[in-house]
Amino acid sequence: MKILNNDEVIGLSSINCSLDWFPQDARNGSIVSSLLLCFFFFLSVTPAFSQFKKKPKSIFQTLQQGTMTGVIIETDLDSIINHRSRNTYQPAFFSHADIHGNIIKHDIRIRPRGKFRRRVCDFPMVKIDFSKKDLKERKYKKFDDYKLVTHCMNTMDDSFESVAREYLAYKLYNILSPDSYEVQFLFITYVDSKEVVPAFQHFGFIIEDTAELADRIKGEFRKDVDGLKLDSLNTVQHDFVALYQYMIGNTDWRATPISRNVKVFKKEGEMDYELVPFDFDFSGLVAAPYAVPNSSLGQRTVRHRIFQGTKKIADLDKATRFSFLEKKKKILKYVKRFSLLSKASRKDITSFLEFFFKELEKIASKNSEK
């Protein structure tokens, strides 16, 4: 955890760093140190490149300025940390740089969120509520409700690894389906409004507003998912999601009868509901330090893949399996170039994913022989 002085807190902008500049055998600790240096180096140069971008339509799109964006969150940190069981909002400020490098400060409300992580983490996950009035005055779209995935433990190295891996899980699903949550990696400066807790920095990422996603994919989300039945779902799309969860080794989800870690939506003109997955910290790809196997499914380790589709993988719609094999090169290439993780971590993830693709290829080969 990096403690800041006042000058460092004030000087903030967006960054677009590449770890390809640093030694390939760098451990996570040296990566974090390099990123901190890279952050302050880019304070002076990123806005010059950003001015040619089109004006964003939402606050989330404003933050999508490159590999990583710097933000400041100022609030009563003691309240967030020591009263995490509550679900009430507290006042806060959210600052970031616009496309010209000017610092924009928003009045927001934040509260602790999540179930498991708010119990086990040093710092809880956070929900951010922007002021609709403020967004309207600044000519942004109305989308105001965002989830923030931030560090779990105060130790920088372990938390950075888990955050970066979960962020990667979202990005890989983006490759497979446009009907997915967009995310933006952040370098966050936390400032205590009561000046009791020293300012500190950590990494995290912000998740697209659900209403914003619905608007983007032209769908309507179902808020009440209790008692959801399988026959009301697009089972082909359900199994597509199930295959992705299998790919990353995630069993911490379900669609029915009470959905968990998926959003349910219906696209315009469609009769059946579809799923959008989220929260991948218990997956084998992320392998968060606090993740445990799903004993109810007989999972031996968090990397033990268990398929939770409506049928066996070999019996899935051929197009579903092909859509994954078709994106194999793109997915593995993205992992290889994912500069937020060390070479060792990327190699580990690549090996984990390649085993999945070999399984699909074996099934495809057997089916072609029939």
Of the chain, the percentage scoring pLDDT greater than 70 comes to 84
Query: How confident is the model over 152-169, as a mean pLDDT?
Result: 90
Predicted TM-score (pTM) of this structure: 0.87
Residues 273, 254 share a domain? yes
Residues 234, 153 share a domain? no
Residues 184, 87 share a domain? yes
Q: Where among 187, 214, 241 does a domain terminate?
A: 214
Residues 207, 231 share a domain? no
User: Residue 49: is its pLDDT beyond 80?
Assistant: no
Residue 155's pLDDT band, with cuts at 50, 70 and 90, is confident
Query: How confident is the model over 240-264, as a mean pLDDT?
Result: 96
Residues 186, 47 share a domain? yes
Amino acid identity of residue 198, one-letter, is: P
Count H helices, E strands: the chain? 13, 11
Contact 98, 104 (CB under 8 A): yes
User: Residue 7: is its pLDDT beyond 60?
Assistant: no
Range(s) of the domain holding residue 311? 217-369
Residues 186, 262 share a domain? no
Q: Where among 214, 243, 272 does a domain terminate?
A: 214
User: Residue 1: is its pLDDT beyond 80?
Assistant: no
Residues 237, 180 share a domain? no
Please give the pLDDT value at position 53: 54
Please give the pLDDT value at position 101: 84
Residues 229, 174 share a domain? no
Q: Where among 160, 181, 214 does a domain terminate?
A: 214
Q: Mean pLDDT score of the chain, rounded to an integer?
A: 86
Residues 290, 189 share a domain? no
Token code pair at residue 52: 């040619």
Please give the pLDDT value at position 370: 60
Residues 343, 230 share a domain? yes
Query: How confident is the model over 210-215, as a mean pLDDT?
Result: 96
Contact 72, 189 (CB under 8 A): yes
Please give the pLDDT value at position 56: 58
Contact 193, 76 (CB under 8 A): yes
User: Which class for 57: exposed (0-12), middle (13-18), buried (19 or more C-beta within 10 A)?
Assistant: middle
H/E element, 327: none
User: Residue 36: is its pLDDT beyond 70?
Assistant: no
Report the number of distinct structural domains present in the chain: 2
DSSP 8-state assignment for residue 77: H
Residues 167, 104 share a domain? yes
Residues 192, 133 share a domain? yes
Contact 145, 221 (CB under 8 A): no
Please give the pLDDT value at position 250: 98
